[in-house]
Amino acid sequence: MRPSNMGVVSFVDVKLEDVWYTYDGVNYALSSVGMEFNGSGLYLVTGPNGSGKTTLLKVLALIHKPSKGRILINGVNPWSRGLTDSIRSSLAYVHDKPLIVKGDVDYNISLGLRLKNLEVAEGSIGYYIERYGLSEFRKRDARSLSAGNRRIVSILRALILKPKMLIIDEPFNHLDVKKVELLIEDLRELSRNTTIVMSTHYLYKEILECAKERYEIIAGRLRKL
Ligand SMILES: Nc1ncnc2c1ncn2[C@@H]1O[C@H](COP(=O)(O)OP(=O)(O)OP(=O)(O)O)[C@@H](O)[C@H]1O
Ligand SMILES: [Mg+2]
Per domain, the residue ranges of the chain are 13-224
Amino acid making up residue 182: L
Q: Which residues line ligand 1 (CB under 6 A)?
A: 23-24, 29, 47, 49-55, 96
Residue 4's pLDDT is what? Answer: 39
Cα distances from 162 to residues 35, 46, 118, 195, 214, in angstroms, run: 24, 24, 11, 11, 23
Residue 2's pLDDT is what? Answer: 39
Radius of gyration of the chain (CA): 17
From atom 6 of ligand 1, which residue's Cα is the shortest distance away?
23
Residue 10's pLDDT is what? Answer: 64
d(CA 95, CA 203): 19
Q: What H or E segment, with its residue span, contains residue 108?
A: helix 105-115
CA of 216 to the centre of ligand 2 (A): 13
pTM: 0.92
Which residues are bridge partners to 30 per DSSP?
A: 21
From atom 27 of ligand 1, which residue's Cα is the shortest distance away?
49
Residue 103's pLDDT is what? Answer: 95
d(CA 40, CA 126): 27
Ligand 1, atom nearest to 96 Cα: 27
Residue 17's pLDDT is what? Answer: 97
Residue 114's pLDDT is what? Answer: 82
d(CA 102, CA 111): 11
CA of 58 to the centre of ligand 2 (A): 10
Question: Exposed, middle or buried, 50 (CB in 10 Å: 0-12/13-18/19+)?
Answer: exposed
CA of 1 to the centre of ligand 2 (A): 33
From atom 26 of ligand 1, which residue's Cα is the shortest distance away?
49
From atom 7 of ligand 1, which residue's Cα is the shortest distance away?
23
Residue 124's pLDDT is what? Answer: 87
CATH of domain 13-224: 3.40.50.300
Cα distances from 32 to residues 43, 49, 201, 219, in angstroms, run: 19, 19, 23, 11
CA of 196 to the centre of ligand 1 (A): 21
d(CA 106, CA 201): 29
CA of 114 to the centre of ligand 1 (A): 31
Cα distances from 155 to residues 22, 108, 182, 224, in angstroms, run: 28, 10, 12, 26
Edge-first strand listing for the sheet containing 68-73: 28-38, 13-22, 68-73
Closest Cα partner for 128 from 115, 112, 147, 143?
Answer: 112
Residue 5's pLDDT is what? Answer: 40
Residue 6's pLDDT is what? Answer: 40
pLDDT tens per residue across all 225 residues of the chain: 334 344 455 667 899 999 999 999 999 999 999 999 998 999 999 999 999 999 999 999 999 999 999 999 989 999 998 888 888 888 999 999 999 999 999 999 999 888 877 777 767 899 999 999 999 999 999 999 999 999 999 999 999 998 889 999 999 999 999 999 999 999 999 999 899 999 999 999 999 999 999 999 999 999 999
DSSP string, 162-193: --SEEEEESTTTT--HHHHHHHHHHHHHHTTT
